[in-house]
Amino acid sequence: MMKVGRFFIKLLILLMVLLSIAGCWNRRELDNLAIVSGLAIDKAEESEKIQLTAQILKPGNLSIAAAGGAGDGGRAERPYWNLTETGNTVFETIRALTHKSNRRLFLPHNEIVIFSEDIAKEGIQKYMDFIIRDHELRRLIYVLVSKGKASEILESKTELEQIPAISISQLIEVRDATSESSAVNLQEFMNRLMSKTTAPIASLIEVVGKEKTALLMGTAVFKKDKLAGFLGREETRGLQWVIGEVKSGIIVVDCPNGKGKASLEIIRANSKITPEIKDDTLHIKVEINEEGNLGEEMCSVDLSKPEVWMSIERRKAVVIRKEVMAALKKAQEWNTDIFGFGDAVHRKYPKLWKYIESQWDDFFPSLEVTVIVKAKLRRSGMITKPAKPE
Amino acid sequence: MFGFLFKKLQFWQLLNQRNSGKQNGNWQKSSQTSLSRDLKENLKVLKSILGTSNDIVIREFSFGYDEKINASIIFVDGLTDRMTINESIIKPLMYDTHLFDSRELLTTNNIDIIQKSMLSVGDVKIVTSLDDVIDGCLSGDTVLLINGSDQALVISSRGWESRGIQEPKTEAVVRGPREGFTETLRSNTSLLRRKIRNPDFILENMQLGQRTKTDICIAYLKGVVNPKLVEEVKYRLKKINTDAILESGYIEQFIEDAPFSPFATIANSEKPDVIAGKLLEGRVAILVDGTPMVLTVPMVFIESFQTSEDYYSRPFYTSILRTLRFISFFITILAPGVYVALTTFHQEFIPTPLLITMAAAREGTPFPAVVEAIVMGIVYEILREAGIRLPRPVGSAISIVGALVIGEAAVSAGLIGAPVVIVVALTAISSFVVPAQSDTAALGRVIITISAGALGAFGIIIILLAGLIHLCTLRSFGTPYFSPLAPLSFRDLKDVFIRLPIWAMFTRPRTIGWHDPQRQEFRQIPAPPQDSEKVEQPQGEPENNSNMKSQTGVQGLKRPRKIGNKDT
């Protein structure tokens, strides 16, 4: 009898210990959460201070097709709430937002973090710290730089999605269709930031027109953690070619007969960066292998002829090469190793790297880069000859 | 506090022991005595014992030459077959005794002559003690007492109103036999005997319950069963000392291994084919008079996920169904807990669009998710219980109240969120997929929901691990409850998550049927006949019948090429 009693007492003690040692012990109901979907960090008017805008979802105002009960009254209102606060540090400001919000901010569903151009120029490492350190924020959130005020991006008008932040994160995800803008998540940004030579990049976003539509413009390039400049769309693809991030896209070339243009779809592409030492100087060889299909021709060349076919391939390679060289030119101009050449040299010549490492900034601008493009045309769609009267 | 309770219990037990001795007193005394030679004396005693009940019929008559022999038959009206008594007991005695030599009949051992030559009934026994007389009488036999003899004849004349063999309502099948056990022990044993026509199929009788004297029958297949298991079953049954056994559930609770475990360690079924299949795997069945529920021991956890139909249908879809049952079982115990944990602790686990939808549904609901889940769980249990107990004509009221008022109205009134209704509905549906464990699942569900509400996913894992450890420690009549998964037996995985074809299940489950492991011969995979085989076929016949073991395959073992030889 006594044994059983003692057993239960032991069990009780064990349970109490178990309850008290449990780590993350905060239960929060779903309706007490302010779900943050996007963060924007601007410079405050006061010096040394930041202005932080959080986009908070208002689930009640989201029109969910089947919910019905939510009512039409809610539809008139915006389903999000942009909350702005200024403060000295990011964490402080986020907490300070609860002066206005009756619910505590819930960050794990945050999808994007936008830095304004002017704050990026001053360096974003100090603001990045909280975003990387805090357990609630994911490593998969996209890092963006805005031309103009970052908070305005979160105000932009969206049509298909109801939440601007979610719309922008999807915008970044469909960049695969063109490969003309960068998609950089926190993890990649962090890796580049921590690298001694490789320069961080971020997507570039801008609000344009009266409609206030947000659109991706290209890439923001950082030197260390300070904004160095912007790459346009073509230069961005030039960068993507080298780092092997091109997924798809359209390359427009002139037709072999000189009349009209042809668009070629990129099917797959990969790249290889090989550092070489020739005559005691460091060369970088970039090999790009591309395969694509002919998607459209606005001229009337007969593709059944191999020389036409090869001519298009050659023209395509020239375009790719041009894009890469444009990106390279900008990068060398700003002395930002966005391609990761430094890391490639480190991997291939680890002993040599020790001497180069500290002087990489002197090496990079004058680095000789050979770009070899192997572009292949695979298929020509449903027809070989264009449909036209002979 | 517990010590105090246990002391109190012990005291009660002592008190009861003393009282029971007193109460049973006059019964026990009479049972010791033997019959006297005087019929009147015997009748007097019997009347004093059985006397006042109006269903006891005592018919006094005399027979023999000049009606010199006084006799009397005693039977219970309703339990006996009147035709048998009239035509096979009274008629031969009263009309045909003239055919016998009167002097011979008048001698003292005339009871032998009556038993051997006069009664045209199948089963007649001579008894000497009053106890046996009463016992026979109450179990539906007719007792014949003859003046001048201290022996009585117990003539089998059982016959009572009973339910016919029907399709069991609890275990419906699409394919397979539709018959189910009834409340009559004899008809149940006959159903089993018809499935297993084998002299090794043993039925052993027993009586339990001091007051009810319920007939119990232990069934097993000699040669396949582990003899020690039979011993153990008998030992545990004999230890039962209670006044009444009304259903097999009484026995289950007296002999089970883990009375405080939420998991049942004794299986039950209403279907003869299921029981036959289990007997053929080496289990022991316990049949109880008065209930169609037959117990089988030992039970393993996986048994709950197997149905008889699994073996009758082809293996592919069956294997999917098996997996589906495991998934359903997990859904039914985990769904509310996971919902609570996700919405109150781990919102970051939910994909953003889903989170938004759920948050929109939760907007403005007054209760925390855990309260919602528990309340809806209780409401569902109430509905289910009411649905069972309700008189049939008002049954539709339940569905209206359940579906409309509680489901629809509560959501639109904003009292509870819509997702929790979906979760509870899903839970409810899933719980019927594994009916054998639905009680356990309901219990586990509540515990998991509460612990998820307190600790989140951590709490769920704690309870699941505790449950798993508990399952692994359980034993049912010496068999590890979680076998063949723990201890792992690769050979027996053939019948767990997937079911192999019947011809590939060569062996009985290792932990149960190890006494005679091989169920059938190897290489019985059906294929179009080869030329060489066609010639040999007729020669294979004679050895077919001699090999009984391989024929007694579980669950309708098929031997494709030799099936026609069974009747030869």
Per-residue pLDDT of A115-173, as tens digits, reads 999 999 999 999 999 999 998 899 999 999 999 899 999 999 888 888 899 999 999 99
Checking DSSP bridges between strand A112-116 and strand A104-106, what pairing results, if any?
unpaired
Residue A383 reports pLDDT greater than 50: yes
Do B281 and B365 lie in one domain? The reply is no
Picking from B476, B502, B536, the residue at the C-terminal end of a domain is: B476
CA-based nearest residue in chain A for residue B413:
A69
Which residues contact residue A210 at a Cβ distance below 8 angstroms, ignoring those fewer than 6 apart?
none
Q: Do A60 and B1 touch (CB under 8 A)?
A: no
**B327/B242 same-domain check:** no
Q: Per the domain annotation, does B493 fall within a domain? A: no
- Residue B146 placed within a domain: yes
- Is the pLDDT reported for residue A69 higher than 50? no
**What distance lies between CA B388 and its chain's CA centroid?**
21
pLDDT for residue A285 is more than 90 = yes
The arithmetic mean of pLDDT across residues A254-260, rounded, is 84
ipTM of the prediction: 0.82
Q: What residues contact residue B65 under an 8 Å CB cut-off, 6+ apart?
A: B97, B98, B102, B105, B106
Structural domain contains residue B536: no
Residues of B in contact with A37 (CB under 8 A): 352
The count of other CB atoms within 10 Å of the CB of residue A355 is 9
* pLDDT band with cut points at 50, 70 and 90 for residue A22: low
Return the minimum-mean-pLDDT range out of A3-12, A180-189, A262-271, B494-503. A3-12
- The arithmetic mean of pLDDT across residues A37-49, rounded, is 91
Phi/psi for B408 (5° steps) reads -75, -50
Check residue A1 and give its pLDDT.
Answer: 56
| Phi, psi (rounded to 5 degrees) for A294 | -80, 125
* Pair (B266, B134) in one structural domain: no
Residue B497, in any domain of the structure: no
Do B42 and B35 form a contact (C-beta atoms < 8 A)? yes
Domain presence at residue B319 = yes
SS3 of B76, please?
strand
List the one residue out of A359, A360, A320 whose CA is nearest residue A336.
A360
Residue B371 at interface with chain A, using a CB cutoff of 8 Å: no
Question: Sheet containing A261-278: which strands, arranged edge to edge?
Answer: A249-254, A261-278, A281-297, A368-377
Whether residues B235 and B325 fall in one domain: no
For B146-160, the three-class secondary structure string (H helix, E strand, C coil) is: ECCCCCEEEECCECC
**Are both B257 and B288 inside the same structural domain?**
yes
Residue B17's pLDDT is what?
65
Q: CA of B7 to nearest chain A CA: how many angstroms apart?
A: 8
Using CB atoms, which residue from B3, B356, B453 is nearest to A59?
B356
Q: Is residue B365 part of a domain?
A: yes
Tens of each residue's pLDDT in chain B, 568 residues: 566 777 777 777 776 666 555 444 444 444 457 888 888 888 888 888 887 788 888 888 887 766 777 888 888 888 888 888 888 888 888 887 766 666 666 655 567 777 777 788 888 888 888 888 888 888 888 888 888 888 888 888 888 888 888 898 888 888 999 999 999 999 999 999 999 999 999 999 999 998 888 999 999 999 999 999 999 999 999 999 999 999 999 999 999 999 999 999 999 999 999 999 999 999 999 999 999 999 999 999 999 999 999 999 999 999 999 999 999 999 999 999 999 999 998 888 899 889 988 888 888 888 889 999 999 999 889 888 888 888 888 878 877 887 787 778 888 888 888 899 999 999 999 999 998 898 899 999 999 999 998 888 888 999 999 999 999 999 999 999 998 998 898 989 999 999 999 999 989 998 888 888 888 888 888 988 877 655 554 544 444 444 444 444 444 444 444 444 444 3
Are residue B193 and residue B115 in the same domain, yes or no? Answer: no
Q: What is the pLDDT of residue B559?
A: 45
Asked whether the predicted pLDDT for residue A309 surpasses 60, the reply is yes
Record the tokens describing residue A85, joined without a space. Answer: 């606060």
Spell out the domains of chain A, with CATH numbers in brackets: 31-62+77-231 (no CATH), 233-390 (3.30.300.210)
In the block, tokens 């890092």 appear at A143
- Cα–chain center distance at A290: 22
Does residue B280 form part of some domain? Answer: yes
Residue B221 and residue B148 share a domain: no
Question: What is the per-residue pLDDT for B32?
Answer: 57
Domain that holds residue B138: 28-155
From B249, B277, B299, the end of a domain falls on: B299
Whether B73 and B207 map to the same domain: the answer is: no
Q: Do B124 and B226 sit in the same domain of this protein?
A: no
Interface contact A5-B1, CB threshold 8 A: yes
Helix-strand-coil percent breakdown of chain A, rounded to 5?
40, 30, 30
Q: How many domains does chain B have?
A: 3
Picking from B439, B458, B476, the residue at the C-terminal end of a domain is B476
| Longest CA span, chain B | 104
Of all residues in chain B, the one with the smallest CA distance to A31 is B363
B84 and B218 fall within a common domain: no
Same-domain check for residues B327 and B447? yes
Which residue from A22, A37, A166 is facing B455, i.e. has the nearest CB?
A22
Beta strands, E only, B77-178: 124-127, 142-146, 152-155
- How far apart are the two ends of chain A, measured CA to CA in Å? 104
**Do B97 and B238 reside in the same domain of the chain?**
no
Tell me, what's the pLDDT at A290? 94
* Least Cα separation, residue A230 to chain B (angstroms): 31
**Among A340-344, A370-374, B384-388, which stretch is predicted with the lowest mean pLDDT?**
B384-388
Assign A158 to helix, strand or coil. coil
Is B139 contained in some domain? yes
B260 touches chain A (CB under 8 A): no
Could you tell me which residue, A75 or B396, shows the higher pLDDT? B396
User: Residue B108's pLDDT is what?
Assistant: 53
Question: CA of A156 to nearest chain B CA: how many angstroms apart?
Answer: 20
Cβ–Cβ below 8 Å for B360 and A70: yes
